[in-house]
A and B are shown apart, each in its own frame.
Chain A
Amino acid sequence: MFASDLLEMLYVGSADGAITALVAIGFSLVYGVGGVTNLAHGAYFMLAGYMLLWILTWGPIFSELIWLSVVIVLVIIAFIGALSYLVLIKPLQNSHINMILITFAFAFFLELIVKEISGTQPEPIDQYKLSDIIVVIGGVSMEVRVLLQIIIGLITVAIFGLFINKSKLGKSIRAVSQDKEAATLMGINSDRILLYTFIIASFLAGFAAYLAIPGANLMGPSMGWNYLTNSMAVVILGGLGSLTGSVVAAFILNYAMSFTLVFIPKGEIWTAIVPMVVIVVMLLVRPRGIFGKKELK
């Protein structure tokens, strides 16, 4: 009994951990490079999920050509990420508080638009499922699509790691996040780099939505805030500027949440508190996070 509960906990935690990692590294990237606390980051995830749903109703072409529709959704979400930087955030870069307020307003705007179109009820999307097979391992029934979600999620993180560490653009991104002024002196246009990070971040959030949602439910237009909250907890737990830190923290956080869910009575209420506890404890005990190189400023 205990062993299968433990396995259940690992299964749920890993599935959510992989998704949270994808969402959180984008949030952390934008924060590290531009100092932008992008409160609309969770909304990208939510919006991408709903766009997958909408595109199905547009016509038979899209429900047949699944890959095409996924690509279209990812391109649109990356475009929205780029626009939110260019139109809203960039002009307000001198005022930190206005920058935060406008990302909040934008997140809220996206949520309301989605609410207007699709309502607040949970909606399933089954068409894009990665796999229909269910296997039983150690007394726990597992969906193959969820196992694929974990594996593809981790591979994506690894590719992102290679990109950020080895490619020229990745190195420029790191340079700007370490010292923006020095990077400018090298001839790097830091505004453009920040634009790229917005595109990458929103793309990763959209991709995470594609991995997580088909086969599961769209949990309503406000679900983006949960991912935002978890991303913040991950950044604070793992530390800013550390990819490994973010990934490890994403898994720790989600294991803590799935542990609460599986082992603690009335766990479904208390899981919501886990990110908060993590944030407050980490801020009081070790503000730079487990792997962090510098404190958040």
Chain B
Amino acid sequence: MLIPCPHCGTRPVEEFTFLGDATVIRPTSLEPSSMDDWMDYVYLRDNPRGNYAEYVQHSGGCRAWLVVTRNTGTHEVHSAVAAKAMKAKP
């Protein structure tokens, strides 16, 4: 698999480290009532066949954390964007 790092260009997958689901958003509430949201954030993951956005670090390159969208069925990589640029403001 090849990943188009926005900083380093297209590089082989061995240079990258996968973390997982990039669609989850860290809750901001510290109230006990928000515990369900926290449980979902820490543990609950979809396992889709098809497009999936994942946090991936270019650990053997520029070390930037990226959001890589790929098709889990075909392994086709659709995009790789710096996580910093992707971050959805709550």
Tell me if chain B binds chain A. Answer: no
User: Which residues of chain A have a CB within 8 Å of any CB of chain B?
Assistant: none
